[in-house]
Amino acid sequence: MITTWLSREFGIEIPVLGAPMGGRAGGALAGAVSAAGGLGLLGAARYNTPEWIEAEADVARSIGGKFGVGLMTWSLPENELMLDTAIAVKPTMITLSFGDPAAYVGRIHDAGIPVVSQINTLEDLRIVEAAGVDAVIAQGGEAGGHTGHIGTLPLLQEILEATSLPVLAAGGIGTGRGLAAVLAAGAEGVMIGTALLASPETVGPDYARDRVVEAGSADTVYTSVFDRARSQPWPQRWGGRAIANDFTAAWDGVDVDEDTLAKAYDPSDPNNGVVYAGEAVGLVHGTHPAGDVVRRIGADAERHLSAVRLS
């Protein structure tokens, strides 16, 4: 068994968090990750509701016992009820990513819940440290969904050198080799998203799972074009990594207004609708239950770590 700060602090067997993926990670996925020995998080997107959090928390708890809730910090000022509800469902962890969490950390800590933030730069580290978070996740630009520009390994090394907080890694980790590598570097665990995207417990259109299985590591694109087409007011610094398709071929990088994009966007069309996924998509070869994915990553990492020879 691999023991780290993450596994000790949260009583889990495998130091793997199932990412809070908006539109893909509900209670079934989070519960399956937790039941396998990791900790799965509900992905509460801006377009979800407090009722969604309550219902999915019940599902996750009934399957896996523990679960976390992941919120997008920049969207909280317009709907703080999302945070109140996330606290009320008593999760094991809340993640606040993409923005300064200072206004919210105290409220979460008062309820006895640890707060973890994904960060994309050294400047982000200083902001979330000042806000009082309990740990950080260095999220590299190869991650699926919204992310920054610095690669996972350079960012992880930089953050590990710069803080005494526990540090996890996210972005591009899809096998036991990846988990072993970042643990050896000093990370306390990982957050995985893309590796879970073909699993039957994910929500979203069937074509999203098919695309994930078919796509290779070179098939993703970092773009804001889907946010603009769907009127999602993400701050400009965070684009999203998605599988390239007909829509990105036609519109990514084109100087065009949002109405035109909205009219051209058709989520019912498998060649047009967004499938957020990271470069680790090339490591996903089939539709395996999320629990199998997590257990396999944990067991393989153990094997790789014990095979390391120092002399």
Ligand X SMILES: Cc1cc2nc3c(=O)[nH]c(=O)nc-3n(C[C@H](O)[C@H](O)[C@H](O)COP(=O)(O)O)c2cc1C
If you ran DSSP here, which 8-state letter would residue 21 be given? Answer: -
Task: Provide, rounded to whole angstroms, the least separation between the CB of residue 275 and ligand X.
Answer: 8
Segment lying near ligand X (by CB under 6 A), choices 4-12, 31-39, 170-178, 301-309: 170-178
Q: Are strands 239-243 and 220-223 parallel, antiparallel or unpaired?
A: antiparallel
Among 7, 48, 75, 97, binds ligand X (CB under 6 A): 97
Is 245 a binding residue for ligand X by CB under 6 A? The answer is no
Is 191 a binding residue for ligand X by CB under 6 A? The answer is yes
Task: Tell the burial category of 282 from Cβ atoms under 10 Å away from its Cβ (0-12, 13-18, 19+).
Answer: middle
Cα separation, 223 vs 211, whole angstroms: 18
Q: Which lies closer to ligand X via its Cβ, residue 217 or residue 256?
A: 217
DSSP string, 197-260: TTSTT--S-HHHHHHHHH--TT-EEEESHHHHHTT----TT-EEEEE--HHHHHHTT----HHH
Among 19, 33, 113, 225, binds ligand X (CB under 6 A): 19
Cα separation, 33 vs 39, whole angstroms: 6
Is 40 a binding residue for ligand X by CB under 6 A? The answer is no
Residue nearest to ligand X (CB): 193
Is 73 a binding residue for ligand X by CB under 6 A? The answer is no
Among 145, 166, 189, 273, binds ligand X (CB under 6 A): 145
Is 66 a binding residue for ligand X by CB under 6 A? The answer is no
Site size toward ligand X (CB under 6 A) is 29
In degrees, rounded to 5, the angle at the alpha carbon of residue 278 between the alpha carbons of residues 275 and 281 is 85
Q: Which lies closer to ligand X via its Cβ, residue 63 or residue 71?
A: 71
Cα separation, 52 vs 110, whole angstroms: 23
Q: Which lies closer to ligand X via its Cβ, residue 63 or residue 170?
A: 170
Task: Provide, rounded to whole angstroms, the least separation between the CB of residue 71 and ligand X.
Answer: 7
Is 7 a binding residue for ligand X by CB under 6 A? The answer is no
Is 75 a binding residue for ligand X by CB under 6 A? The answer is no
Is 99 a binding residue for ligand X by CB under 6 A? The answer is no
Is 14 a binding residue for ligand X by CB under 6 A? The answer is no
DSSP string, 282-297: GG--S---HHHHHHHH
Task: Tell the burial category of 216 from Cβ atoms under 10 Å away from its Cβ (0-12, 13-18, 19+).
Answer: exposed
Segment lying near ligand X (by CB under 6 A), choices 100-108, 123-131, 189-197, 259-267: 189-197
Residue with tokens 């498998």: 270
Is 18 a binding residue for ligand X by CB under 6 A? The answer is no
Nearest to 198 by CA among 211, 216, 180: 211
Chain residues that interact with ligand X, rule: CB under 6 A? 19-22, 24, 43, 45, 70, 72, 95, 97, 118, 139, 143-145, 170-173, 191-195, 276-278, 280
